[in-house]
Homo-oligomer: A and B are copies of this chain.
Amino acid sequence: MAYSSVSDELVEEFNPKKEEKEGSILEVGDQAVWSLSSCKAVKSLLLGFGIDQLRDDSTDTYWQSDGQLPHLVNIQFRKKTTIQNIWIFADYKADESYTPSRISIRAGTGFSDLQEVEVVDLNEPNGWIAIPLKDAQDKIKPMFSDLEEKICTPDQLCPKPDNSALVFGKYFTDHMLEVSWDSKRGWAKPVISPMHNLQLHPGAKVLHYAIELFEGMKAYRGEDGCLRLFRPDRNMARMLSTAKRSSLPMFDAEEMIKCIKRLIQIDKEWIPYSTTSSLYIRPTFIATDPSLGVASPNEALLYVLLCPVGPYFTSGFKPISLMADPQYVRSWPGGCGAMKMGANYAPTIYIQKQSELLGHQQVLWLYGVDHQLTEVGTMNIFLFMLNRNGERELVTPPLDGLILPGVTRLSLLELAREWKEFRVVERTITMAEVIQAHEEERLLEIFGAGTACVVCPVSSISYQGREYNIPRSEPSLSQRFLKTMSDIHYGRVQHPWAVNI
């Protein structure tokens, strides 16, 4: 029975049917479609009770499950419905074999995304049991209004590096944001405190099974003095989708953005006074429970670090050379290549090193027997070319699950579609096509796009023993993208993507 109730106490010796008549609770179970994972075949009046017997309001009849655990009762509502209590009548003494000992409540938008919101252990129950679900709503919200701030004392503040010394991800600001979660109590209060080491149990799941994810976004000091954050809603949406795939808990994206903005405000002096540098924001989410079972985490920590950064590549906006070797595959259908999980990065580092030993700067990741281009290093890839009809075309691989849905990728596509000056196409592109276009001199430009570098031109691709030099069109499209994005970042033009902090 699914009840919408004004009370959420666990009440025994209580009949919700009576309460319903008195109008203090509202039964909503009838609005749902009920089904069972199994029930015994009906052979007599005393055997084989299913949905009808489960729902018939008689305490003499009941559901008789069959086969292996878990036994599932599926309650599907036709529209989004808030459930405050689930009521179950169980009588251990009347029939101990059909009395559940543990009930797990799972909620979701469909069968594929169910998440456990409550677990109740029953110890020889006798009577009506209320399982309040109101907490499940509260649990998914680390609230900005709860934010606790522990600010550095003056002697704890670190000296800021020169803009010229900024190496990507090497310097961290004075403070960090942390929110811890556990499956029993949900989210704790968000806390901003001085940057500090994490205390992790050596058995923490993040250290063994890589249950971890991150995001990357940037804040900029505008030429007008305003501080701006670039499309944080997009990063938070991606973070949530990665969290779901990582079996990490959901949170409220808007509240998280508010907390991150506050962190940036506190450390705002760390945002470089420069229009080539910025403040890199690294939300990170790790599973912390100290237990070696390969299973969903019961404890987790979401934290946010800030780093003042210069250009990602030490060579600046200089074009980079790529190694394209089909023997190395970054992601594959049925995998997690579209997620910003730590697990996608560890395997790439050895290959990146191989490319460096061979004199290249980044890896061009290929996929499939036809050597489709997927990503370049940790960036999305764009090709600007003349198609066979002589039309100018900006091509980037589609979001088919093999590549990360980059926020810079999305922004460049949106800009180009707004300009309406050339064709903009998301489609699979193979090395054979690239080589043919190269031979027919139809390649205008190739570049990577990502938060760390924004735009990064490619000078050459080494593939199957040959080196293909990539031209650069004049005027350069990558330069134009960089200029346009830069104008938005540094407030030279007003744009809804740049959110005031």
A residues in contact (CB < 8 Å) with B = 37, 67-70, 72, 106, 111-112, 114, 167-170, 172, 176, 195-203, 206-212, 214, 244-247, 280, 282, 284, 286, 290-296, 303, 305, 307, 321, 326-329, 332-336, 341-350, 352-354, 356-357, 359, 377-378
Q: Nearest-CB distance from A171 to chain B (Å)?
A: 10
Is B303 within 8 A of A72, CB to CB? Answer: no
Closest chain B CB from A207 CB (angstroms): 6
**Copies of the polypeptide in the assembly:** 2
Q: Which of B291, B347, B354 contacts A169 (CB 8 A)?
A: B291
Chain B contacts of A209 at CB under 8 A?
342, 345-346, 349
Closest to A307 in B: B292
10 closest cross-chain pairs (CB), A and B: A169-B292, A329-B334, A210-B342, A210-B210, A343-B343, A209-B345, A332-B332, A210-B346, A197-B199, A343-B346
Whether B197 pairs with A293 at a CB distance below 8 angstroms is no
- Are A341 and B346 interface neighbours, CB within 8 A? yes
Task: Decide: B282 and A69 in contact? CB cutoff 8 A.
Answer: no
A199 and B199 contacting across the interface, CB-CB below 8 Å: yes
Q: Which residues of B contact A246 (CB under 8 A)?
A: 346, 349-350
Name which residue of chain B comes closest to A72, CB basis.
B359
Can you list 14 contacts pairing A with B, beta carbon distance less than 8 Å? A169-B291, A172-B290, A195-B202, A198-B200, A202-B284, A207-B212, A208-B212, A209-B349, A210-B212, A245-B350, A292-B305, A329-B332, A329-B334, A343-B343
Given contacts A112-B354, A334-B329, A356-B70, contact A212 B291 (CB under 8 A): no
Chain B residue nearest in CB terms to A114? B357
Provide the residues of chain B in CB contact with A169, threshold 8 Å: 203, 291-293
Distance from A35 Cβ to chain B, minimum over Cβ atoms (Å): 13
Question: Is A349 in contact with B207, judged by CB distance below 8 angstroms?
Answer: no
Residue of B nearest to A196 (CB): B202
Known contacts A207-B284, A293-B168, A342-B210; A69 and B359 CB within 8 A of each other: yes
Q: Which B residues touch A305, using CB under 8 A?
A: 202-203, 292
Nearest CB in chain B: distance from A472 CB, A:
16
Residues of B contacting A280 in the complex (Cβ-Cβ under 8 angstroms): 292
Cβ–Cβ contact A202 & B303, under 8 A: yes
Alpha-carbon gap, A68 to B377, bound state (A): 18
| In the complex, chain B residues whose CB is within 8 Å of the CB of A37 | 359
A208 lies within 8 A of B342 (CB): yes
* Given A245-B347, A334-B327, A342-B346, A214 contacting B210 (CB threshold 8 A): no
Return the chain B residue nearest A347 by Cβ.
B336
Instruction: Kindly report which residue of chain B lies nearest to residue A459, judged by CB atoms.
Output: B68
